[in-house]
Structure 1
Amino acid sequence: MTSGERQSPAPEVAATDTPAKPVREAVIDLAHRWFLEGRRIDMQQLARACGIGRATLYRWWGSREVVIGEVVWRIIAEAIDRVEARDARVPGDPARRFVRNFGTLADTVRTFEPLTRFVAEDPEYGLRVLTSGYTVVQGRMIDWAASRLAEIPDLDPRIEVRDLAYAIVRVGEAFVWSDIITGDPPQSGKATAMVSLLVSAATGTR
């Protein structure tokens, strides 16, 4: 290299000659790190840092919202794992356990500073990522809720489990992000109480 040449910076994630799946995981790893640091996830910068083309990112995920949705879901999924691992040691039937875990998860998500900062910086965009079909977050939350509801033995068989899961997730979103949606303070406790009522009605208990 001559003195007049400049060496290009090495990518933050080495992607060359790597199978597609590990590269995709490495992209989300880096986006996750940036998110936690409060750094904006820019698709061009993300592609450059990973040593791949911007068009490849869009081919894999379709939009910036989906990439951020994958990052947010990783945060929520890790929170679910922690909450359920702690709660596994507490006695109780599946219905009570689900309601309890839902409430703990709601508190955990709503007080996680990188996530609340992201939503506060651009509320409309943040809610689109967290609470709409534009990304994976809402759908995977419904999947999680449905899988736990399906474990409740006395659930009314006339109830479609996924419909109930959808209603529960939407109720949770409405109260957890009420400061953004209606201007009221976030109310994870009310979300838990409403979910408890829905589950009680679905199981015929009080």
Structure 2
Amino acid sequence: MERLLQESNLFARGITKPFTALSEISSKITAGDLTVRAYTKSPIREVRTVGKDVNEMVKNLQSTIQGLNTTVSSYSKMLSEYGKKISELDEAVEEAELIMSCIPEILIVIDKDERWIRVNPAFERTTGFGVEEVLDKKTVEQPVYKNLPESIKLNKQMWSRVKKGEMVSGLEIPWRTKKGKKIILSASEQGLKDAKGDVVGGVFTAKEVTKKRGGKKPKKNW
């Protein structure tokens, strides 16, 4: 496009030359100087050359416009497809949120640094802690593990196995509710993997089994 503008500027400067010459010749003829008629051929040839240049420039301009239209059409198509993907992603997220809210068991999603990034409503119903009290905190910082060093130790052992690609299930682990009550969970955890197969997080699920245990200590299942 810049090249075309440069050519247009050069053309604009060049086109004035033959027309200026013809104008001067015309003025002299009008004044009675007929000798200048012999010099009209050169400017006329230049005008014809300018006409050819105009046609060529128009062709170049049409080609450039066609190229721009193709580019705009391509970008419009890309934006349309991108918008469609975003819409599909939003629908998938909404569906996932709905599924999580309907699961009766506790479900927690953590990142590779053991930071809690998602919890479902069952967690709040079981423990009394709100989502805002636990999100973006690491497991060792969670209020459900307050004054429960053995539970933190069990969780670290479980996460260590998950990072190696194992799936842990049926681990009985004590938690503490917001009211300070100690409860026992039957917990499971498996890793979340990226396209390369590397563990980049985990999904922790659990259900309360306090009543079933009848006050007994959690089973030693390690």
TM normalised by structure 1 equals: 0.21
Higher relative contact order, chain-length normalized (CA < 8 Å, sep 6+): 1
Q: Which has more radius of gyration?
A: 2
TM-score (norm 2): 0.20
Q: Which has the higher strand share?
A: 2
